[in-house]
Copies of this chain bind each other. A is one copy, B any other.
């Protein structure tokens, strides 16, 4: 088990067939997840292609996360939360300035992911909308309005994803106030 400290991020390889378990050790903490084809990092996780093929915004056990080239990258094989987000982008200097103008600016998940992914030849412009594990973004179907609410995950909750190709994964303990109910906690992960 590896711990990602609060407001930080990491990156690692995940071989085809291996599993990634993301655990919320204290509860109500978001983890932004990115995935790239390890053989060609221009192939990347895509919310739009995933919504195309899965036909739902609520991705959970049995759903797959797809790439911009229409290939499955990850399958969700276990999920004790069933509430994640794939609409919103990683928090960043710009989003801190926009949403929290009175608070200290943080580089956010975007800055943490950019630094962690740089050794793999992945730059800031290669960061798309992330799969935001445990992030709770209800949608009002009538008005279209979206809101960022505290995660419903409790201590020990987890999601398990299986790699459908050799991947580079980026993963964070999210840094934004609203996403995490106002506090910042670690995220644990395990490879299997």
A contact set with B: CB distance below 8 Å: 42-43, 46-49, 51-53, 55-58, 68-70, 87-89, 92, 94-95, 98, 125, 127-130, 138-147
Contact = CB atoms under 8 A, between A and B. Distances in A.
Contacts of A69: 94, 125
Given A42-B125, A129-B46, A143 B56 contact: yes
5 contacts: A46-B89, A51-B88, A52-B88, A141-B141, A141-B142
Nearest to A123: B42
Q: How many copies does the complex hold?
A: 2
Nearest to A93: B70
A92 to B, nearest CB: 7
Contacts of A43: 125
Contact of A47 (B48, B70, B94): B48
